[in-house]
Amino acid sequence: MTPDSGSASPAASRTTAQATSQATLARPFALSGRGLHTGARATVRVSPAPAGHGILFRRQLKGGRSAEVPALWPFRVSQPLCTAIQRDGVLVRTIEHLMASLSALRIDNALVEIDAEELPIFDGSAVPWCTAIREAGRVAQEAPRRRIRVRRPVAVADGRRRLSIAPGEGLFVSGHVALAHFGPLDWAGPVTPESFVAELAPSRSFGRYLRAMAGRAYGTVTRKPFLRGCGPHSAALLLRGRVIGGMRLPAEPVRHRLLGVVGDLALAGHPIEGRVEAAHTGHELNHALLAKLMADEGAWELV
């Protein structure tokens, strides 16, 4: 294995080995925080893994036991307002920000150990994950990095919610949402380590303030894992025509929807190359697109 600067250098200066070889972390890191839905504190340790390992979650259970859940689309299960995976009854939820960060920063192999059901939400963005990954460093491995290249368009829709992917070089995403009091919000660009860190990672999970607080009250009263850790400290909350505390980036909500797209597509198990167009998408539609793409073997090739 050979170390490289990973996301810290301009894309144009990357060597062929860095672009075509698998990679893992140079050293492990650990972060702690509370979950968006459970409100419970969790510690996550992300460690290097050998070539061909992929991203694997290992959840610590009671009695010193542990269970492993691969970060792959067949293990995805539907949960409210997050991406979750499950195997043999063991659930790991709210993985999308970490998955997006690992994918965008080109970390192919890692072991993610967690001592609770849900990953921390932090401030609602992917910045803490990106910072930790970049500080840990990236190491190229002596194994080819295979990619899923889209060969023909695939699309899904649900009312005004639409999501499609078509052939294209690298991963390019474009998104649109229209919100009351805010109007249309749009963003488009390639997903590279540099663009992800600067343009997408700082965007936060968002929602209407009154709805979020009602959801938090419901989760707390019923003791269900639903928005119990939600607040202005962990999300961009919209109140009429403003974001409490202000937007971090122009059109922050649509950028966050695209962050979610990047994280959800990472469950393909290999980097995807194609042009994504999204309108009012969310996790359910993202996973519907990925499942439809993977089921249509003529729509993609592994290169």
- What beta strand segments (E) does 20-93 contain? 21-25, 29-34, 41-48, 55-60, 66-70, 76-79, 82-87, 90-93
Query: Is 256 marked as binding a ligand?
Result: yes
Measured between alpha carbons, how far is 230 from 228 in angstroms, rounded to an integer? 6
Contact 101, 129 (CB under 8 A): yes
68 CB burial (10 A radius; 0-12, 13-18, 19+): middle
> Rounded to 5 degrees, what are φ and ψ at 208?
-70, 135
HSE-CB at 182 with a 13 A cutoff on CA atoms is 22
Helix axes 252-265, 283-295, angle to 10 degrees: 40
Beta partners for 300? 150
- 195 three-state secondary structure: helix
Query: Is 37 marked as binding a ligand?
Result: no
Beta partners for 155? 164
User: Where do runs of H (alpha helix) occur along the chain?
Assistant: 16-20, 96-104, 127-136, 193-195, 209-222, 252-265, 283-295
**Active-site pick, 176, 280, 283, 287:** 283
- Whether 287 is catalytic is no
- What beta strand segments (E) does 133-180 contain? 138-144, 148-150, 154-158, 161-166, 171-179
- What residues are annotated to the active site? 283
Task: Enumerate the known binding-site residues for Zn(2+).
Answer: 97, 256
Task: Enumerate the known binding-site residues.
Answer: 97, 256
